[in-house]
Each structure stands twice: as C-alpha cells, then as structure tokens.
Amino acid sequence: MTTLDLTGDVVELTRTICDIPSVSGDEKALADAVETALRSRPHLEVLRDGDAVVARTSFGRGTRVVIAGHLDTVPIADNLPVVVDGDIMRGRGTVDMKAGVAVALHLAATLTSPRYDLTFVFYDHEEVAARLNGLGRLVRNHPEWLAGDFAILGEPSDGTVEGGCQGTIRVKITVPGVAAHAARSWRGSNAIHSAGAVLDVLRAYQPRQPVVDGLQYHEGLNAVKIEGGIAGNVIPDLCTVYVNHRFAPDRDVAAAEAHLREVFAGFELEVVDAAPGARPGLDRPAAKEFVELVGRPPQAKLGWTDVSRFATLGIPAVNFGPGDPLLAHTDNEFVPIPEIRQALRVLESWLS
C-alpha cells in the first residue's frame, strides 16, 4: 500500500493519489491509503463505509464545515502516471478531482486547531449511476456523519465559488387522440396535432431568473423527447412529450411539480424523475467570510451536482476547487499547479 504524506507538499500529494488508479468501482486501494493516513492523525476521528472515508474533529466549536470530494475517476485513457510540464499537471484525475481531494487531505492532516469543527468526506462511485453514488449511500446509511452548517465540494470550479445547484424534474405529458384511417382523417382526432398545444406552452414560457441567497439562477422548461405515430396511413391516437424543467433552489421538487401542473393544466402529466436543487447558503456568516477570502464573485451553479445531496440534509453547499471543469473526463485532463496552491491558501486562511 502506498503511504500518503498528507502534511508535505500538496502538489506532490496530488501526483501521488493520481498515480493510484481508482476508476469507479476500483477505489479500494486509494480509500485504504486515505483511511490509514488519516488514522495516524490523533485530532481526527475516522469512519468508513464501503470505500467512503470520513474524518472529523470534535473541538466543540459552534459551527461545523464539511469538505467533501470523490476518490473515483472516469476510465484511464493512457494518461497515467501523471506528467508535470511546467505549471501544468496532466493525467487522469488531475482536475476531476484529485487536486481537490489532495487539498482536503492536507487540510485534514494539518488543521489541528481549526476555527470551526471540520468533517472531511472522501467517497466512491461519483462518476457512475446515481444509485451507486457513495455520498448518496452515506446520506442513507449515516446521515449523522455528514452533519454540518455549510459544505464545500472540491469539484473543479476555476477557483471561484459555485453556489448551490438547480433542481431538475422530468414529466411525461400524454396527449390522446382517436385513431382513423388517414384516407378519412376527419373520423379521427390527430394526437400529434393536439400535442401542438403542449409545444405552444413551451414556446411561450418565460423562465424565471431568480436571485437566491445572492446568486442569480436561470430556469428552463424544455421538451427533451417527443414521439407519436402508429403507421404511415393511420391518424395517431397518442403523442407523448417528455419535458424537463430545471428550477432554481428557492423551489423544492413538490413546488416544481405543482408549477408544471399549473403550466400544463388540462394535460395528463406524470412525473418521471426529479432531484432537488440546493440553496447556496452564502448568506451564512461562515460562508460570507469564505467568499470574501476567495475574492471573486460567486456564481450560481446551474447544473445538478452532489451538493444537492447535502441540501437533502438541510446543509447549504458550494463547489470550490482548482481547475477548469470543462476539462473533466477529457483525455487531455490537466490542472494548473498554481490553482492547487491557491485553493489550499484560501481554505487554510479561512479555516485556521
């Protein structure tokens, strides 16, 4: 087993943990190394569930900050071991998200007297089906391990704070008709034509752009699938439109569903799936200080991310980590080394 030096140089630590392959489902070697290294730090209590490792302080501070990151990567594309080229570290996992994990490991090991109590969460299976997600499993099995007032996910965010996330709900709208032979179409009722009224609603819809906890979100309402038709000579008796609504975190899933039922009043509507958004929580005192230290205006996170899993526990959460998120999953994945050091500097200043 590779021994991790958590207190040394964070860039070397990034390289070391990148070079322990940990494609989703194969995180054990890295999780073992992380657990062992953390257990050697007496100020930390270390817990484990599968290949998720949790380490936390218990200094009796009035506020607890949670710092989380996933250990797994997408499959290796002949891009390990990592290569350092000037200010760039290149290879699988560098940006998504072992640089963020290395920063968190270094903080866990070195902040022996932090300003707030701290909980560090390193988890498995982020890059695969949602039902396998290690953070989701901790939410189900041990929600008390994740308790806190504010959470930071170390996903790459170009060094800015990306706050919260929007929720998503998918509904299936079923438009009926009456089948008939196309030669006598007036004896039937064309379901595809009737679905035009659903598209009318979508075309006329004005999405909200609400400000939530200081960040501006941007909603959306879109057909993502349409299907109808039986045969080339038959008036269709059914047309189905699948609609995806992305909603700002000032609404929960129930409110989003109610909104859709109002917008599509008169249509048969069925919820296919939904995931709540997450408030950024940047109005909390601890979060405000953090954002000031980052020194750049925070951005609303529009896509759905694992911060929403904290939101289900009532914990506001943000993304903050080194590197460009658009490089995640690319074969050319890399992280700028100065951004690793800068992320560590900001978090150290805030938490010391």
Of 75, 81, 143, 229, the residue at the interface with a second copy (CB under 8 A) is: 229
Shortest CB 230 distance to a second copy, Å: 8
Shortest CB 309 distance to a second copy, Å: 17
| Interacting residues with a second copy between 42 and 81 (CB under 8 A) | none
Distance between CA atoms of 110 and 47, rounded to whole angstroms? 18
First to last CA, the chain: 31
Q: What angle do CA 306, 310, 315 make, to 5 degrees?
A: 145
Distance between CA atoms of 145 and 54, rounded to whole angstroms? 7
Catalytic annotation on 72? yes
- Of 124, 126, 127, 219, which residue is the catalytic one? 126
Q: 């002949």: which residue's tokens?
A: 78
Of 21, 50, 176, 220, the residue at the interface with a second copy (CB under 8 A) is: 220
Q: Is there binding between residue 230 and a second copy (CB under 8 A)?
A: yes
Q: How far is CA 87 from the centre of its chain?
A: 27
- Residue 110 or 244: which CB sits closer to a second copy? 244
| Interacting residues with a second copy between 169 and 208 (CB under 8 A) | 170, 181-186, 190, 192-193, 195-196, 199-200, 202-203
Distance between CA atoms of 30 and 23, rounded to whole angstroms? 10
Distance between CA atoms of 335 and 186, rounded to whole angstroms? 63
Of 234, 238, 293, 313, the residue at the interface with a second copy (CB under 8 A) is: 234
Q: Measuring CA to CA, how many Å separate 214 from each of 44, 110, 249, 281, 298?
A: 34, 32, 12, 9, 9
Residues constituting the chain:
352
Residue 348: burial class (beta carbons within 10 Å; 0-12, 13-18, 19+): middle
Give 97's DSSP letter: I
Size of the site for a second copy (CB under 8 A): 45
* Token pair belonging to 225: 């699938």
Amino acid sitting at position 115 = R
Scanning 45-53, 242-250, 260-268, 327-335 for contacts with a second copy by CB under 8 A, the matching segment is 242-250
Q: Is there binding between residue 242 and a second copy (CB under 8 A)?
A: yes
- Residue 227 or 268: which CB sits closer to a second copy? 227
8 Å CB contact between 12 and 5: yes
- Residue 33 or 239: which CB sits closer to a second copy? 239
Of 60, 78, 144, 224, the residue at the interface with a second copy (CB under 8 A) is: 224
Closest CA to 329 of 39, 59, 73, 38: 73
* Token pair belonging to 141: 């099995």
| Interacting residues with a second copy between 275 and 304 (CB under 8 A) | 302-304
- Residue 2 or 244: which CB sits closer to a second copy? 244
- Residue 120 or 247: which CB sits closer to a second copy? 247
Distance between CA atoms of 347 and 287, rounded to whole angstroms? 11
- Residue 142 or 193: which CB sits closer to a second copy? 193
Of 4, 66, 105, 241, the residue at the interface with a second copy (CB under 8 A) is: 241
Q: Helix, strand or coil for residue 135?
A: helix
- Of 27, 51, 72, 96, which residue is the catalytic one? 72
Q: 């909980």: which residue's tokens?
A: 119
Catalytic annotation on 162? no
| Interacting residues with a second copy between 130 and 169 (CB under 8 A) | 166, 168
Shortest CB 44 distance to a second copy, Å: 36
Peptide bond into 97 cis (omega under 30): yes
* Token pair belonging to 211: 């400000």
- Mask of contacts with a second copy, 254-273, x by CB under 8 A? ------------------xx
* Token pair belonging to 215: 């960040």
What are the backbone angles phi and psi of residue 42, rounded to the nearest 5°? -65, -20
Scanning 13-21, 121-129, 233-241, 330-338 for contacts with a second copy by CB under 8 A, the matching segment is 233-241
Q: Is there binding between residue 3 and a second copy (CB under 8 A)?
A: no
Residues that bind a second copy (CB under 8 A): 166, 168, 170, 181-186, 190, 192-193, 195-196, 199-200, 202-203, 218, 220, 222-236, 239, 241-242, 244, 246, 272-273, 302-304
Q: Which residues are catalytic?
A: 72, 126
